[in-house]
Structure 1
Amino acid sequence: MRAQLERRFFLVLLITVTFGFGLVLEPFWGAIFWAAALAVIFYPLQSFLLYKLGNKPNRVAALTLLICVVMVVLPLLAIGASFVQEGISFYQRIEKGELNPEATLDKIKMAFPLVTNTLQEFGVDTDNIKQRLSEAAVAGSRLLAEKTFAVGQNAASLFLNIGLMLYLAFFLLRDGAKLVELFIVALPLGDERERMLFAKFAEVTRATVKGNLVVAVVQGVLGGIILWILDVPAPILWGVVMTFLSLLPAIGAALVWFPVALYLYSTGQWWQATVLIAYGALVIGLADNILRPLLVGRDTKLPDYIVLFSTLGGITLLGINGFVLGPLIAALFLAFWQIFITEFNQAGFSTASSSEDVAEQRMNSKTIE
């Protein structure tokens, strides 16, 4: 009795201390998560370098991390700096009156009178829509400028988080296999189940980050290039916006290039608008339709509709980290249910079958008697 009481009390203290440690780390959960994601993504490269350079874990982990910084971190910082600069410039142009959202919406309204008349026939107040869209554009540009100013003012915090992420990633790369084995020993789920769940975590994280980021960057670059060719203002800004929106499957990048095409039509730039529509549908759209299933859906073994809904739900609930955590939670959900169906239902079926066998044996024995 005393031993059972001590065990329960210890488990309560274990849960309490673990929860408290989680609260202590809460300000750095983003850095911790992305450090783990980088370690998972670049683990195959680290394994290759270990094979080539021999058993030198510190040197190999440092080299892997250096390659990660050159391939991922520095390009993202450069794109972010350009985004901040063009975002501030865009807001300043609206403030000075060089860009007038209301006038732009008037041009679009005049260029498509059939749409305007149809909406008015159904009782839709197009003037009210125009006013709200104009206010939304101004508010959005102001919010964009505020966010970019905030990023500039919090540069020290940003670089601190990046430094912590890279610092932790080094140790996860070096000691990741040992930590996984430690978790397998500690968790009371059964070694085979734990190995499957850790493998699923690595598989989904690698596929989602690799796939979604590659697709988003490709679409953003393609969109920025065509906007630059068509001489649309702030092509880098809109290219980065398309990159972020492309994290939303199927519809993301079109939220930028389609309104721009409408604007070009309304200003009489017919061939530029037609080129943008065709380019957006065929080139940018095909990049999403071809690359995303190949890089995300196939590797995660998740159906496309689950990838779409889990990505949207993850971003809604968890922000930018949700585009990875959403599909990850969905994959773990399916993995747990697969374990339940495979193991528990089979066990129940076996028990039921054995009970039926016993009953049949009893009936046979009575018949013999």
Structure 2
Amino acid sequence: MFNTRIIFWVIAFASVIGAVILITPFLPAILWATVFSILMYPTYLKLRKKNWPANVAALTVTLAPLLLVITPLAVFGTFGGIQVYEYVNSWVAESKANGEQDFLVTAATQLDTLIEPILSQMGVKNFDLVQIINENKDQLAKNITGPLTKGLSSFVVMIVTLVISVLTTFFMVRDSHHLLDPVSDIIPLPKDQTRDILNRMARTVRSVFFAVFIVAILQGFLCGMAFLVAGVEAWLVLMLAATVAAMIPLLGAPTVYVPVGLLLILNHKPVAGVSILVFGFLVVSQLDNFLRPYFIGKETKIHSMAIFFSLLGGVLVMGPVGLMAGPMLLTLILAITDVLRAKEQNEEQEENGPEPQPA
């Protein structure tokens, strides 16, 4: 009997480990699917109330946001790529006009011209980026090959993750009401407390989505409009860069608009440069101080500092999906803590007995 029980638990433990190993490669896709399904499930319920078939409603709420996201990205990415292509062609043409065939040297020469005033004020002299490149061309070529290969591999993984996320989102949205009871049975808590925890996590996902992604898109758009008005030629590429930077804790839109403003000032365009810096500090960056705390605090009731560290830790550990997974984990921990605290208070009240009624 004893040996049979040991064998059972060994097999059960090995099965759990095997399941974890099988799921681990798909964990980012599952997490993104969880986020998307939470965001779109209220819309799915509205469509079902209008007598839409379950499959049609689930497919609609799965593909519609995907098209709304992919279409702008494709448009902006295409125009951004055109801008980059035009700059590369202009640099190559300039290098040929100067009798040089090395595009990298031409770009380094222009960069030397831009940063020389800054380095001189910092006391750095005799800095020659062109000389450094000429002395390390072979090593640079080897170092570039690796990131390019890795970047191509990451792109393929991203496409596969997206496809798996879309399929998983469809089934999560359509069958979520069937999945809720098994999940509640697995969690060793009363069903009402389990549902409360899941609802809190759903509210966290929605609030963090608006606080991170919507605010970042708004910041990137404002930066892009400022660059366009200031006459920055690569305004579209810089707008995309500002949007991505605004999503990442510790970076933010200032990592884009501050260098742009300083470069405009150094290129004898002080009005445009100062205008971008002032607009960035007074308008773009202030969205972090007003809108993000509003979105996060309105639903989650969690301190902004705790959300910040959960975002930062999630990104460092899990990559982009950590922007949502970090706050979800924080909410889960806080919810379980509240449940344990309430349970402890109930036990203390039972031990002490009911308070005596006044005579």
Q: TM-score, normalised by structure 2?
A: 0.80
Indicate how the Cα distance of structure 1 residues 83 and 335 shifts in structure 2: closer, same or farther if over 3 A, else same.
Answer: farther
Match of 1:22 in 2: 20
Match of 2:236 in 1: 236
Match of 1:256 in 2: 256
State the AA in 2 paired with 1:46. Answer: Y
Moved more, 11-20 or 333-342: 11-20
State the shift of 1:144 in Å.
9.8
State the AA in 2 paired with 1:66. Answer: L
CA distance in 2, matches of 1:342, 1:128: 67
State the shift of 1:231 in Å.
2.8
Match of 2:104 in 1: 95
CA distance in 2, matches of 1:239, 1:10: 58
Match of 2:54 among 26, 42, 57: 57
Moved more, 83-92 or 301-310: 83-92
CA distance in 2, matches of 1:169, 1:46: 12
Match of 1:360 in 2: none
Indicate how the Cα distance of structure 1 residues 61 and 160 shifts in structure 2: closer, same or farther if over 3 A, else same.
Answer: same
State the shift of 1:253 in Å.
0.6
State the AA in 1 paired with 2:297. Answer: G
Question: Does residue 70 of the first structure (1) align with residue 67 of the second (2)?
Answer: yes
Match of 1:106 in 2: 116
CA distance in 1, matches of 2:223, 2:320: 21
Match of 1:37 in 2: 35
Please tell me whether the aligned partners of residues 114 and 263 of structure 2 are also in contact (alpha carbons under 8 angstroms): yes
Indicate how the Cα distance of structure 1 residues 9 and 149 shifts in structure 2: closer, same or farther if over 3 A, else same.
Answer: closer
Indicate how the Cα distance of structure 1 residues 37 and 77 shifts in structure 2: closer, same or farther if over 3 A, else same.
Answer: farther
State the shift of 1:356 in Å.
11
Question: Does residue 247 of the first structure (1) align with residue 247 of the second (2)?
Answer: yes
Indicate how the Cα distance of structure 1 residues 9 and 81 shifts in structure 2: closer, same or farther if over 3 A, else same.
Answer: farther
Match of 2:95 in 1: none
Indicate how the Cα distance of structure 1 residues 259 and 128 shifts in structure 2: closer, same or farther if over 3 A, else same.
Answer: farther
CA distance in 1, matches of 2:206, 2:3: 43
State the AA in 2 paired with 1:33. Answer: L
Please tell me whether the aligned partners of residues 44 and 57 of structure 2 are also in contact (alpha carbons under 8 angstroms): yes
Match of 2:303 in 1: 303
Q: How many residues align?
A: 335
Alignment RMSD: 3.6
Indicate how the Cα distance of structure 1 residues 146 and 232 shifts in structure 2: closer, same or farther if over 3 A, else same.
Answer: farther
Measured against aligned partners, the alpha-carbon deviations of 1:20-68 in whole angstroms (never above 9, x if no partner) come to 12211222222121111111111111111111235x2111111212222
Indicate how the Cα distance of structure 1 residues 153 and 81 shifts in structure 2: closer, same or farther if over 3 A, else same.
Answer: farther
Please tell me whether the aligned partners of residues 105 and 130 of structure 1 are also in contact (alpha carbons under 8 angstroms): no
Give the 3-state SS of the residue equivalent to 1:22 in structure 2: helix
Structure 1 runs not aligned, ≥5 long = 117-124, 358-369
CA distance in 2, matches of 1:30, 1:58: 24
Please tell me whether the aligned partners of residues 46 and 60 of structure 1 are also in contact (alpha carbons under 8 angstroms): yes
Q: Residues 213-362 of structure 1 correspond to what in structure 2 (within 5 A)?
A: 213-248=213-248, 252-351=252-351, 353-354=352-353
Match of 2:194 in 1: 194
CA distance in 2, matches of 1:8, 1:197: 34
State the shift of 1:150 in Å.
5.2
Structure 2 runs not aligned, ≥5 long = 92-102, 134-138
Match of 2:45 in 1: 47
Moved more, 151-160 or 319-328: 151-160
Please tell me whether the aligned partners of residues 210 and 295 of structure 1 are also in contact (alpha carbons under 8 angstroms): yes
How high is the sequence identity, in percent, across the aligned residues?
22
Please tell me whether the aligned partners of residues 47 and 57 of structure 2 are also in contact (alpha carbons under 8 angstroms): yes
State the shift of 1:251 in Å.
5.4
State the AA in 2 paired with 1:343. Answer: K
Please tell me whether the aligned partners of residues 87 and 148 of structure 1 are also in contact (alpha carbons under 8 angstroms): no
CA distance in 2, matches of 1:130, 1:208: 45
Indicate how the Cα distance of structure 1 residues 295 and 195 shifts in structure 2: closer, same or farther if over 3 A, else same.
Answer: same
Moved more, 85-94 or 37-46: 85-94
Moved more, 74-83 or 156-165: 74-83
CA distance in 1, matches of 2:213, 2:322: 13
Give the 3-state SS of the residue equivalent to 1:106 in structure 2: helix
Give the 3-state SS of the residue equivalent to 1:97 in structure 2: helix
State the shift of 1:270 in Å.
0.9
